[in-house]
Structure formats: structure tokens, C-alpha cells
Structure 1
């Protein structure tokens, strides 16, 4: 085999970043559709947020299925099919004329994007990296934050041409881009003559030895019996509750607080960009120091950010919110799958990641609906932000109590 100057795993990370960027635009971009659709159809914020919760329910149900599917059939089929399905669904969204149709199409889009989302992409990264899994996870998952780069364009499309046209443009772009990028992905480094992190494989025996050196390799059933699985899942569900609500409602909330259009655009753009710093920076730190210790600090940052968000549209409060909440939740997103790789191995990573996401998304279901209900009941979102901050604080002991299966005390990581 001709020697490659750049490990192919990094090309896979690049393709994964771009796929995540496109699907991340769906996650963040919904905030621009809330007010126009509410005005056109007379729906309440809580009614529209049920679509976000239905999306999250679907992701939770589909995640274990997608996880087992990617372990069995590999990532490329899922990425190509999911990209086409999500893009077509976005085009169909432009034809929405009733609430049942809106819910049905939204779930259809979410189903497509679940096949090319974090479960598939993190499984690919876990297969290709071991020593640098934190950095690789951080870079890959930063792609979802990079979707924020597209937010000014999405906002402009919705404002200038209407939400229907914006849906068509986003759908057509997805149908083309995601399948092309998915064709670059390869399942495992061994298929290309390498082991994780790019070391050439001189023999079958050396590949086996390297795989065995990476720590425990648990089956999905064994992972479900491990205390660490449930501590990781529940703490992540609590974090996702607030994150899903904030990212879905940030534009609507700032508009209700009479923030300027410029502040809304800056916030919706820089929130995902700030999360990129967390995903890459805290993911990299997790390769050097204790991953669960860094994860606990990321939760603290989210708590500070939620508190600052209550004082919007004060400029200093928004700046503090962007820095702390963005970096905090971004770091948590990168660190949790890296911890999973360390604790449970890579042989069943997709299936275990799917099971974890099935639990985690329960928090995502609760968050937007609770926030929408709080607003419809009292005309303000601040009580919801405070409740999410308290819930995050209560999740910190779960993070610190996590232990790798088979150990009585979590080992500290050093380089």
C-alpha cells in the first residue's frame, strides 16, 4: 500500500464535520421558523415546540435502531439514505398547511437526519481513533456547532423569502451534499490496512494486540448492567433538557425580550460557534486529563450561562451566556462519547451509543415543552432557565461518581 502523508481517519473526520454542519443547521435553524409559522397559522409556541419534542422522541426511539444498524451494515448506507430522506422531508415541510402535516413532516425529516447524525458519526470516529479520540470527537461534533455559520443565511432566507422557500433551499442542498460526503466514509481503519490512530498493520496478530490494548470491550447487554452507563445517560439527559430548549427558543426568547435584530443574529450565530471551542478544546483536554472531571466543569459552565441568560437582552449578560453556556454544552457533547469509548470500547460502540441516546433524548423531549408551557402560562422564559440550571447542578454528583466497569476507583488520565 502506498504510504499516505495524512492518516485517512482525518479525512473521515473532515467529511463527518461537514455532514454534522448540515444536519446541525436543522437543529439550530428551527428557531427562525417558530415566529413566522406561529403568525401564519395562529399556533402557540408550545404547539410548535411539540414538533421539536416529537423530533426528539423520534431520535430517542430511532437511536438504538440506528446504533445497531451502523454496527451491522456500516455508516455509508445510512448516511446516503438519511441525507436523501432528510432533504426530501425539508422540501415537503414547505407544503405544510395543517398541524398534523407539520408534525408528520417534521418527524420524517428527523428520521432522515437521525440516520446521518451523531450516533453514526461518533461510531465512525470511535472506530478510527483511540489515543486521540477526545480531539477527534471534538472536531467531528464541532460540525454541529459549525451549523451556526449557516444561521445568518437561514435567517435571511426566512426573512426575505419566507419560511417555505427557506425549507426548499435547505432540502435541496441536503439531498446533494450529504450523500456525496457519505461516500467518503470508511467503516474501520483495518479495512484500509491500519489500526486506530493511523499505525500501519504489519500483521493480523499486531492488529489484534492493538485492539485488545484499548480497554474493556462490552456488549450492549453488559453496558446496560453497568452503573456507569446509567450515570452517564441520566446526567446527559438532564443537560440535553436545557440545551434543547435554549437552542430551539433562543431567537424567540430574545425577540420577546425586545432585543435588537442584530443581537438576535449575533447570539444565534455565536452560540453554536462558542460550542465549537468547547467541543474541540474540552475534547482535547479530555485526552490529557480526567474526562469526567472536565465534563463536570462543563456542566458548571452551563449553569453559569443559564443564569446569565435570565438577564437578556443586557449585552454583558449575553456575552457571558455565549461564552459559558456555549463552551459548556459543546464540551459535554464531545466528552460523553469519548467517555463511552474509554468505558465500553469500540466493538459495540454504535449499539451502546444508540441505547444511551435513547435515554438522553427523554430530556430533550421535556425541555422545549416545559419552556413553551412556562412562556404560555406566564409570558416569560426565565423560570424555565432557572429550573434547568438547578437540574444541571443536581447532575454533577452523577458525573463524578462514574467508574469504568471492572474498577472500584476511576483511574486518572495522564499523558
Structure 2
């Protein structure tokens, strides 16, 4: 299995931290030009192309169906050939997708580009593939570093949202903005990732360096096989809770900007809440990553889900920019950031890291309901009722149900040594 060398030969810096940098950059660019900011093009596309919001959203979300279909295979490849080729392919596909989106003139073209290239992107550089790669380098510090990596998503959205608005200009030129932004993953991020991951060696050496770094060389990791994990009740409780939360968060991520505009907030207001959300979610991920190594993960899930539900409820009837910033930017930002960081931590902590690539690939498929239903539901409700409001109320309700599920999630005790 190909990976980075455990330590840079010219320094004393543990090479796992370079892996963290790779993960941080990828999550930053993926989120900065992904679900968190794609909402900026929905309204201009509707106006220019006379397409419905649900049709556009369907094209965007169908990429997640493709990712779910190929996710298990990509996960197994991660365990076998390492991350370099997979991540670079995903980054290039991401950039090409955005460049081609800027050129579409028909709905079927948008669908093909989003489904094919978007599916490859989601499968190759999504969190469910990035996080297993990270877990192979850290064990004792796993919660903190996974929180750090996932924080890149929020920094990316906070930095790129104003840039996208600026590139679109007063004329809402989404084509120009998306063409320019699409060049970043191809010509900036992919070369950096390739350079850092270019040196590799076998898995045994990695584990030697990992255990040396974390001080647990005499403690072989206990882990579930994929088959054993799928037989546990806890795994399926986690999946159901994750689906409910993911349904709500993905739905809010893609539809928040159209809904904010519907409530007569400006594009700059929408960009502003993304910045606040990004900063707060970044803090949430770092905080949760740190405390997840110290307290029960299910308690963290309960608290964060409560805050997320409250934030969405407040967003529904936001009467001012201040309320909008508090509801979505602060409450939803802190809790969503923590929840996004928490779920991969639960998988790694509860079931071990050895088969995380394959297990995470399967998880992508099991999240198909939320990946498609979340973003699409509010758009369909908007097309039918003329408002996103009921869709957001649905998101808040599902998040509240997830609170109950977290009460019954505990780390399984019967581990299988492999």
C-alpha cells in the first residue's frame, strides 16, 4: 500500500502533519466551491436559463448518487493503492466540472457534467475518503486532527464565498465566476497534493511511525472487519442518525442562499453569513476534535444536534441580518462543524482504522437518502408552495429526531482483532 514516508528525512516534523495539510487543502477547496457556495448560481441560472430550482438542484445532487455507487470501490482502492492518485483525480475532475458548468447551454448538459464529473469528485475527495486516509496516521490524536482537517471546509467557504460574489459582480455573471474558480483545484491544489504525496512506502512502516508518534507501539489497534461492523446494531444507529443530520445539513447548505434571498436579504448578506458560518464551523470542528478525545462521543452528538435544530428553527423566520447571523452563522455553524467532524471520528473510534477506507466507501452508499433527499426536498417544496420555509422546518424536525438516536449510541465492546 502506497503512502507517505513516516518522517521527512530532512526535518524532525512527523510526516503525518503534512498529510493533515493535504486533507485541509482538499476539504477547503471542495467546500469552497461545493455545496456551501453552489447556491450562489441557482438563482442566476433560474433567471438566465428559465430552469426551475428543483431541476438545477436535481442535477447537483445526482452527483451524490454516482458517488454512492462507486464509493465502495473507491474505498477499497484507498486501502490498496493509497491516496495520491485518487485525490489528484478527484481534484482535476472537480476543476473540469466547474469550467464545463460555466459553458452549459442546456439542462441536459448541466446534468451530464454534474453527474459524471461531480460524482467522481464526491467519491474521490469527499470526507468519507479523506478521513480514513487521515486515521491511518493518528490514533491518540485522532479526534483533534480530524477536526482540524474538516475545519478546512469552513475556511474554504469563508474565503471563497466573497471571491465568488466579487467575480459574479452586479450582473450576477455566474459563468465567469465558475470558470475562474474551476482553475484553482486543477492548477493550484492538485500539484501541491501530488508533490506532498509523491513519496511513499509500505503500510508497515506507516504503522511503525504512527505508533512511535502516538506513544502506543505496544498497543496493537483493535478493530472490526467490515463484515463485523455491519452486523452491529450500533453501526446502523449511527447510519440512521447520520442520514437525518446529513439530510438537514446538506439541504440547508444548498438552499440557504436562495431562501435568504427569498426573505429579501441581499447577496452580500448571504455571503456574510457564509463567512460567519465558516469561522464558527471551523471553531466547532477544532473544539469537537479536541474534546472528542476526552468525553463520550454520543453526548457530543446530542448537544450539537440540539443546537443545530435550534439554529435552523431560528433561520426559518429570521427578521434581521443579526438574527440570520446568530441562527445560521453561529448556532448552525458551530454545531454543523462539530457534527461533520464527529461522524468520521465515531466510525474510526468505534470500529478501528484498518478497514476505514472500505467501511467509509460503504457509508457513502448508505447516505444516499440524505445526499439526494436533503438538497432536493426544499427545492421541490419551494416549487410547489413558492417558499423554502416548510423545507427548512422539515430539516429542523429531522435534526431533533437525531437527538433521540444519539441517546442510544454507544461504543461497541466486542471487538474483533485482525
TM-score, scaled relative to structure 2: 0.90
Corresponding residue for residue 344 of structure 2: 337
Corresponding residue for residue 105 of structure 1: 113
* Cα offset, 1:168, TM superposition: 1.7
Equivalent position to 1:144, from 150, 153, 159: 153
Corresponding residue for residue 185 of structure 2: 174
Q: 1:150 to 1:401 in 2, by over 3 A?
A: same
CA distance in 2, matches of 1:382, 1:365: 19
CA distance in 1, matches of 2:160, 2:90: 20
SS, match of residue 376 in structure 1? helix
CA distance in 1, matches of 2:369, 2:92: 26
Q: CA RMSD in A?
A: 2.2
Corresponding residue for residue 20 of structure 1: 27
Specify every segment of 5 or more residues in structure 1 that has no aligned partner in the other structure, as ranges. 409-415
Checking the alignment, whether the CA contact within 8 Å between 1:277 and 1:327 is kept in structure 2 is yes
TM-score, scaled relative to structure 1: 0.90
Corresponding residue for residue 374 of structure 1: 381
Q: 1:306 to 1:121 in 2, by over 3 A?
A: same
* Cα offset, 1:42, TM superposition: 0.3
Q: Does 1:93 align with 2:107?
A: no
Corresponding residue for residue 167 of structure 2: 157
Checking the alignment, whether the CA contact within 8 Å between 1:63 and 1:357 is kept in structure 2 is yes
Aligned residues, how many? Answer: 400
Corresponding residue for residue 411 of structure 1: none
Checking the alignment, whether the CA contact within 8 Å between 2:32 and 2:156 is kept in structure 1 is yes
Corresponding residue for residue 83 of structure 2: 75
Equivalent position to 2:292, from 279, 286, 294: 286
Corresponding residue for residue 250 of structure 1: 256
Checking the alignment, whether the CA contact within 8 Å between 2:128 and 2:344 is kept in structure 1 is no
Corresponding residue for residue 4 of structure 2: none
CA distance in 2, matches of 1:8, 1:178: 19
Q: 1:400 to 1:256 in 2, by over 3 A?
A: same
After alignment, is 26-35 or 4-13 more displaced?
4-13
| Deviation sequence 1:6-59 (CA, Å, 0-9, x none) | 222112111210111111122222111101111111011111111222122222
Corresponding residue for residue 209 of structure 2: 195
Q: 1:253 to 1:393 in 2, by over 3 A?
A: same
* Cα offset, 1:190, TM superposition: 4.7
After alignment, is 98-107 or 183-192 more displaced?
183-192
Checking the alignment, whether the CA contact within 8 Å between 2:137 and 2:207 is kept in structure 1 is no
Corresponding residue for residue 70 of structure 2: 62
Checking the alignment, whether the CA contact within 8 Å between 1:124 and 1:188 is kept in structure 2 is no
Checking the alignment, whether the CA contact within 8 Å between 1:63 and 1:358 is kept in structure 2 is yes
Q: 1:375 to 1:300 in 2, by over 3 A?
A: same
**Superposition map of 1:111-122 within 5 A:** 111-114=119-122, 115-122=124-131
CA distance in 2, matches of 1:36, 1:399: 39
* Cα offset, 1:117, TM superposition: 2.3
SS, match of residue 367 in structure 2? helix
Checking the alignment, whether the CA contact within 8 Å between 1:250 and 1:268 is kept in structure 2 is no
After alignment, is 178-187 or 189-198 more displaced?
189-198
CA distance in 1, matches of 2:18, 2:211: 12
| Deviation sequence 1:243-296 (CA, Å, 0-9, x none) | 111111111111111113432221122223221111111121111111121121
